[in-house]
Chain A
Amino acid sequence: MKTDHELIKEFQNGNNDAFNILVKKHLPDTIGFFVKITSNTIEAEDLAQDVFIKMYKALKKFRFASKFKTYLYRANINMANSFFRTKKWKNLLHLDEVPEQGYYDNSIDNKWKKEELWNAVAKLPGSQRKVLTLRIARELKYKEIAQILKISENSAKVNYHYAIKTLKGRLS
């Protein structure tokens, strides 16, 4: 099986199938991340689609300085961040009071709890929000989070600590 970098090289040489293989390889992980955040598969698919459309353009200039996975995580977290910003405004304007039901999530009670959680996450400051999302939705280590967000490991830990503290206050 070809590595991510090999596939990217082939894609840069004009092989579009290589891009498709790359997408297929990372799709479940990406969709899973966005499903956790949105609690809605359709919305998650839309966000994943946006990420991969941006990737299609960006990969042509990829310099192989980092792992593709790190690059993809960064794109995912940026997309999640813009999703949270929109969510925050929607909540402020009360446009999102009744969420649509995703077809993977059958438990309405659980859904409401998730909705509540992500509404609270949306209100966190940007850096805390990014660290918390990567930690709880991706279950990444602080070292990996620091690498993705280009911050120090300690900064990641501090941001996570404050994010959890704020969430505890808001959700309990």
Chain B
Amino acid sequence: MKFENKLKHLLSQVDNSIDSSSFLSSLHKERKRRNLQRNKIINTFSAFALLLVVGLTSIKSLSNEPIFIANNDLYALQQMDEETEALIFNLADYLVTTSDDFWETMTFFEEIQFEPMYSLNINGGLE
């Protein structure tokens, strides 16, 4: 017998009968299980990526670098030119002198944080 025929003969006695219904049910069960598993993996990766982004953002916002704190907590100094400064002082003087209620005016200065007049009051300069 030729070698090729020997091989074919060796494989010829195969019973390939199978219960197709049970095969189909286990096929669909396995397919659904794999789908579920794939979705779980995708969800896990998405959650991990989201956590990573949130974590990195949090770490960045908790930075202790002085420049970062200065940027967030301190107001920039505002410089006025001489003309504006004089006008503001004149206005403040005018308000103080013309006001019916001196203390109300001082409270107003305090509210708008008009430092020179307020300091003047603290030091007892203006009564």
Contacts and interface: CB of A to CB of B under 8 A. Distances in A.
Contacts of B8: 136, 139
Contact of B27 (A36, A49, A114): A49
A117 interface: yes
Contacts of A27: 18, 20, 23
A141 interface: no
- What is the interface of chain A mostly: helix, strand, loop, or mixed? helix
A56 B10 CA distance: 33
B3 A164 contact: yes
Q: Place the interface of chain B in its size category.
A: 20 to 34
B7 A35 contact: no
Given A20-B24, A23-B27, A53-B27, A28 B18 contact: yes
Interface string A105-131: 101001001100100000000000000
B104 interface: no
A82 to B, nearest CB: 16
Contacts of A164: 3-4
A168 B6 CA distance: 11
B107 interface: no
Interface in A128-171: 136-137, 139, 164, 167-168
Interface string A36-52: 10000100010011001
Nearest to A104: B15
B14 interface: yes
Given A31-B16, A114-B10, A114-B11, A168 B24 contact: no
